[in-house]
Structure 1
Amino acid sequence: MQIYVEPDAIKRERYAEQLLRAGYQTVPDMIELQRYFNGHPDCLLVVFGAAVELDEVLEFSAYQRVQRPELGIVLVRTRVTNALLQSALRAGVREVVRDDETDIRAACLRAIEVGKAMQTTVRPARTADSTAKVITVFAGKGGCGKSVVATNLAVALAAGGSRRVLLIDLDLQFGDVAIMLKLAPARGIADAVPMTGRLDESGLRSLITHYIPGCDTLLAPANPASADQISRDLVTELLTTARPLYDFIVIDTSSAVTEQVLAALDSSDWYVLVVTPDLPTLKSIRLTVEMFDLLTYPPDQRLILFNRADSQVGLSIEDVEEAVGAPLSTHMPSSRDVPTSVNKGTPLILENPGHPVSRAVRGLADRCAGIDREPERVRRRALLFGRRNASKKPARSDAS
């Protein structure tokens, strides 16, 4: 399976028949690429036409270099320079070629051969000791965007099917995960109640609702009254059973600190605390941090996400950090595209991977997955500012 991204409709039409015969799917932009790419984990090659924005290609390539190293990326440009080659190769682009059909065809064949060779490398099998990292997303006050963060984070961690992620809706009375992902569940967490004390892998799988490749969900009860039947022990049992089956488990919680939420927190490897720039939320997050201290949850495993960070409401980032009593790990901007994506039932990270909100969520996912992209960002900034400085003429000296 290969994908050709070409915004130019005339070129797309000209290549369409030839590309389809060769097994390519043509898409017009990055949004369509992400939709198609996420549904085809067997994809070996993505070709970016000359009209695709370079920054979008580099961001996509740098991310996939870690998630799907066998994926070949070919970049087509009307003009190939040394600076372009350096930045592309650093980001993981396999081939950079001129906009010439013969050159493109040869580059694609080479990239596919390398990808097939890398696929034959045997990946280490998942052992009994290999268990999922549990990430609990919590906010002490409703309306902070907690469910938006949880759903987008789960999709980001799934990385187009290269990882296995389970998203659990533990807001047992008013969970929104099903509606936010346009899922119509046949079963959910409430159906685990009769299995309490004897839940096994097959029982858990019978409760799961599949979402996209790499991402499953365990949904909240359709009837809020069922919440009372779900005990703390059952939550612990669900997590214990699920951990060997997944790479990550993302838990969306209620705003109240219930016994079930405490069970999730006690089992967590990461705690994502969502805060917004308003005084009631700052008060609740400060109390949450103090509660975490009392419960001895490690401070270095807490990631505080500052949602709507660019809102002009009279509170600076320094004010928020002082009120919270801890540094902010991720800044997520405010955008009307977020509620629009919620109303569509499609996480923004799927609909628009290059959106600033999507980039912030991917940064959070990288932290949870132990991936450090800071060196790459530093190199890009150095390259960018180096170009800017080089373009400036030296100031004229008064002494000359």
Structure 2
Amino acid sequence: MTVLWSTDPAAAETYHYAIGGQVHAADGAHAVWRALTTTPGEPLVVAGPEIDLLAVCELAERLRVELPEAGVLLLRRRLDISVLAQALRAGIREVVVADDLSALSVACGRSLEVSRRMVSSTAGPQSRQGTIVTVFAAKGGCGKTTIATNLSAYLASLGQRVLIVDLDLAFGDVAISLQLDPEHSAADLIAMSGHLDQAGIASVVTRHASGLEAICAPSSPADADRVPATTTSELLQVARRSYDYVIVDTPPAFTEHTLAAFDVSDIAIMLATPDIPAVKNLRLALNTLDLLGHPQESRVVVLNRADAKVGLHVPDVVKAIRAPVATSLPSSPAVPASVNRGVALVLDEPKHEFSTALRALAERHVVTRTPVPPLDAPAAIDQQPLPRRRDLRQRRRKVLR
């Protein structure tokens, strides 16, 4: 199927015979993307001469990462060296003069043949589509890195090939939490942007004793701004073809890198602790994801330190965030102690109550991906709430309204 991106009402009639086959008309980048991702067939985009060059280049760059078999052809009124150079850098396959219908027909045929070869080379038993899990907390101090590293280490202990990516590029703690001494970091991916492959990822990972592999944050916060969000998308898309699981540890904010991770994630672990600021921020984060069109069924809300005697319990949190809590994790001094020792508690003390709860989270919501019951259905919460302090609960309910 070919998508003709044009705002000219006569474009379909003008280019139909040159393009050939079934042509789907679209007047905007979002419509083009929706057509490519929802309609099966050989993906090809023909952008009309009136479409802004920057918009076409942005689409081509995204397709190169997320749908590399898709081809983009650009029509222009006249050929220009600067346009050709910019199109080439963005991944546009050919630039064709708009009134040369014969050249357009040949270019379409060449692009479709390239797409067929790319699809056939990646099909078959050797292809892999790993699961991407993004761990996010809208407030710092919720134990996000601890859960991400323990989850990654446990999955690696099952014999799975696991990569953890530290997307808290300025202040990431994955390396220190796992007692790693990385020679490379995410900053080394900048030079490979646009042509990152499995060998490139292998050149920057640091290996943990459990078999887990990590891409750590840069050692200097100044390097964080140098890593573009497009590199994050490219990294995760390439990594999922090499690993069974890719665990993404994020900063406590909706940065461009965090949003890029949410875009490609299969599972989003949304984390909070039973305190007013964390619950409030979680509710705002869930609302933001709703506005962005992020699928609710992919989210797993986790309440960490759920048994802390602070007056808020699981039912209070559920009512405040207006979403079900899939599982809860206990509070224990052994957890920060394990972080200080640079070990994953789930491996170091497998019988510990935190380790047991973490394994249940991994098995139920990551390995088997059991759906979380909707809010109006009875939900099985792993950690039962402690007796309530009704006076504290009433005060907190008034704050959360």
List structure 1 runs of 4+ shifted beyond 4 angstroms.
none
Deviations, residues 182-229 of structure 1 (Å, cap 9, x unaligned): 100000110111111111111110001011344100000001000011
Out of 109, 128, 131, the position equivalent to 2:129 is 131
Query: Mapping of 1:182-197 within 5 angstroms?
Result: 182-197=179-194
TM-superposed CA distance for 1:147, in Å, is 0.4
Determine the structure 1 residue equivalent to 2:254. 257
Q: Which moved more, 1:270-279 or 1:196-205?
A: 196-205
Q: Aligned partners of 1:307, 1:203: CA distance in 2, in Å?
A: 35
Q: Aligned partners of 2:124, 2:359: CA distance in 1, in Å?
A: 24
Deviations, residues 222-262 of structure 1 (Å, cap 9, x unaligned): 01000011111100111111111100000000001111111
Determine the structure 2 residue equivalent to 1:223. 220
Out of 178, 184, 198, the position equivalent to 2:195 is 198
Out of 356, 367, 371, the position equivalent to 1:359 is 356
Residues 190, 221 of structure 1: 8 Å contact kept:
yes
TM-superposed CA distance for 1:137, in Å, is 0.3
Determine the structure 1 residue equivalent to 2:147. 149
Q: Aligned partners of 1:345, 1:363: CA distance in 2, in Å?
A: 22
Residues 128, 244 of structure 1: 8 Å contact kept:
no
Q: Aligned partners of 1:351, 1:186: CA distance in 2, in Å?
A: 25
Taking structure 1 as the reference length, the TM-score comes to 0.60
Q: Aligned partners of 2:176, 2:308: CA distance in 1, in Å?
A: 27
Q: Aligned partners of 1:131, 1:164: CA distance in 2, in Å?
A: 12
Q: Aligned partners of 1:304, 1:371: CA distance in 2, in Å?
A: 13
Determine the structure 1 residue equivalent to 2:241. 244
Determine the structure 1 residue equivalent to 2:207. 210
Out of 315, 324, 328, the position equivalent to 1:327 is 324
- 2:253 maps to a residue whose letter is A
Deviations, residues 357-400 of structure 1 (Å, cap 9, x unaligned): 1111111111211177xxxxx9xxxxxxxxxxxxxxxxxxxxxx
Query: Mapping of 1:253-292 within 5 angstroms?
Result: 253-292=250-289
Query: Mapping of 1:14-53 within 5 angstroms?
Result: none
Q: Aligned partners of 1:259, 1:127: CA distance in 2, in Å?
A: 34
1:245 match: secondary structure: coil
Deviations, residues 137-171 of structure 1 (Å, cap 9, x unaligned): 000000000000100010111134x1000000000
Change (3 A) 1:182 1:355: same
Q: Aligned partners of 2:184, 2:297: CA distance in 1, in Å?
A: 36
Out of 170, 174, 177, the position equivalent to 1:180 is 177
Structure with higher RCO (Cα < 8 A, 6+ apart) = 1
Listed as ranges, the gaps of 5+ residues in structure 2 are 1-122, 371-379, 381-401
Taking structure 2 as the reference length, the TM-score comes to 0.60
Deviations, residues 44-64 of structure 1 (Å, cap 9, x unaligned): xxxxxxxxxxxxxxxxxxxxx
Q: How many residues align?
A: 248
Q: Aligned partners of 1:334, 1:269: CA distance in 2, in Å?
A: 28
- 2:255 maps to a residue whose letter is T
2:315 match: secondary structure: helix
Deviations, residues 280-335 of structure 1 (Å, cap 9, x unaligned): 11110000110111112221211111001111111121111111111111110000
Change (3 A) 1:126 1:218: farther
Residues 153, 210 of structure 2: 8 Å contact kept:
no
Deviations, residues 52-86 of structure 1 (Å, cap 9, x unaligned): xxxxxxxxxxxxxxxxxxxxxxxxxxxxxxxxxxx
Q: Aligned partners of 1:277, 1:309: CA distance in 2, in Å?
A: 6
1:312 match: secondary structure: coil
Matched, 1:369 2:375: no
Out of 150, 164, 174, the position equivalent to 1:167 is 164
Determine the structure 1 residue equivalent to 2:138. 140
Q: Aligned partners of 2:357, 2:194: CA distance in 1, in Å?
A: 39
Change (3 A) 1:256 1:126: farther
- 2:358 maps to a residue whose letter is V
TM-superposed CA distance for 1:128, in Å, is 4.8
Q: Aligned partners of 1:339, 1:347: CA distance in 2, in Å?
A: 10
TM-superposed CA distance for 1:126, in Å, is 8.5
Residues 171, 221 of structure 2: 8 Å contact kept:
yes
